[in-house]
Amino acid sequence: MTLFSGLSAFPITPMTPSGELIAADLSRLARRIEAGGAASIGLLGSTGTYMFLGQEQRRRAVATAVGAVSSIPVIVGVGAMRTDDAESLARDAATEGAAGLLLAPVSYTPLTEGEVFEHFLAVASASDLPLCIYSNPGTTNFTFRPDFVARLAAIPTVAAIKLPLPSSGDIAADLAAFRQAAPGLSVGYSGDWGCKEALLAGADCWFSVIGGLFPERAAALTAAAMKGDREEADRHDAVFAGLWDLIRANGSLRLMYAAANLLELTDAQPPRPLLGVGEELRAKIASALPI
């Protein structure tokens, strides 16, 4: 199995209100993911609030997660507003034992394709680690066209792409377009409620928020869908139906903090200015947890 395949589980990054990493809680989450059968840990993704953390906070998180597990690789988000900062984060991740990198073209000012290409070229050159393109147009205001992804795929260390669910709803056509444009890339999806269909359509990876808290159930769903067993995949997917509805209505980040609190895995809250969920939504989350 290649690095960017199967279930890649994305945990939150537990921090104190003053911004200190709660290393024991992150270690607990990482070990839970490993024991649950995920293929990799996706550290410091959007669920891991990477853009709210400084370089030293992120370095410590990588060291903690890598040190907590022994049998699965850790993929680390290294997105930053400045190219030189992203290069430094990539070098830190490599030094601390990361197996791969995840890079989104974050910027206050929307970037051109030329700017994104130079950004990726620089960050990819900062280490020898394989790099996954992180397409998240909802937060970056940048959309990766298949033709542009083909250009990025010529960079030697670019190995994969993490895609959002297509707005058209036609995952098979979206997957085919990226496969045709960049046949050497691993293609995976986020947007948990639709990833069963993405895997059944032949996607390589599920970049999963839910997997960060419920890796065993998410791994079972992944295995069934990648085998093409729709009936079994539907059965595993059904246990998440309540959470899918809540995530689609409210987003996933705040919900995952609330779920982690309810599971007594951490008392950490989202970094300010983000606020936790209200009591009414918390009760709905508690009722929807697949436990």
Residue 78 clears pLDDT 80, i.e. is over it = yes
User: Do the bridges between strand 6-9 and strand 74-77 make them parallel or antiparallel, or are there none, so unpaired?
Assistant: unpaired
Q: Residue 186 corresponds to which tokens in the numbers above?
A: 């691993």
Residue 1 clears pLDDT 80, i.e. is over it = no
Gap between the Cα atoms of 167 and 160, Å rounded: 21
Q: Residue 227 corresponds to which tokens in the numbers above?
A: 């085998």
Find the catalytic residue in 162, 189, 196, 257.
162
Gap between the Cα atoms of 216 and 131, Å rounded: 26
Does residue 284 have an active-site annotation?
Answer: no
Say if residue 47 carries a ligand binding annotation.
yes
Q: What's the pLDDT at 127?
A: 97
Does residue 162 have an active-site annotation?
Answer: yes
Question: Predicted confidence band at 22 (pLDDT cuts at 50, 70, 90)?
Answer: very high
Cβ within 8 Å of residue 85, ≥6 positions away: 55
Mean pLDDT of the chain: 97
Question: Predicted confidence band at 33 (pLDDT cuts at 50, 70, 90)?
Answer: very high
Gap between the Cα atoms of 131 and 149, Å rounded: 13
Mean pLDDT of 48-76: 97
Find the catalytic residue in 50, 108, 134, 189.
134
Burial group, residue 216, by CB count within 10 angstroms (0-12, 13-18, 19+): middle
Contact predicate 16/217, CB 8 Å: no
pTM: 0.97
Pick from 48, 65, 57, 62: which is nearest to 19 by CA? 57
Mean pLDDT of 157-174: 97
Q: 180-217, pLDDT tens digit by residue?
A: 999 999 999 999 999 999 999 999 999 999 999 999 99
Q: Work out the percent of the chain whose per-residue pLDDT is above 70.
A: 100
Contact predicate 2/186, CB 8 Å: yes
**What are the CA-CA distances from residue 132 to residues 75, 77, 82, 83, 205 (Å)?**
9, 9, 18, 16, 11
**What are the CA-CA distances from residue 226 to residues 7, 82, 190 (Å)?**
10, 37, 15
Amino acid at 62: V
Q: Residue 126 corresponds to which tokens in the numbers above?
A: 């900062």
- Count CA within 13 A, CB hemisphere, residue 89: 30
Helix, strand, or coil here: 102?
Answer: strand
Residue 2 clears pLDDT 90, i.e. is over it = no
Q: What's the pLDDT at 291?
A: 77
Question: Could you give the domains of the chain?
Answer: 6-228 (3.20.20.70)
Q: 102-112, pLDDT tens digit by residue?
A: 999 999 999 99
| Strand intervals (E) in 172-212 | 186-189, 205-208
Q: What's the pLDDT at 129?
A: 98
Phi-psi region of 6 (alpha: psi -120 to 50; beta: other; left: phi over 0): left
Largest distance between two CA atoms of the chain: 49
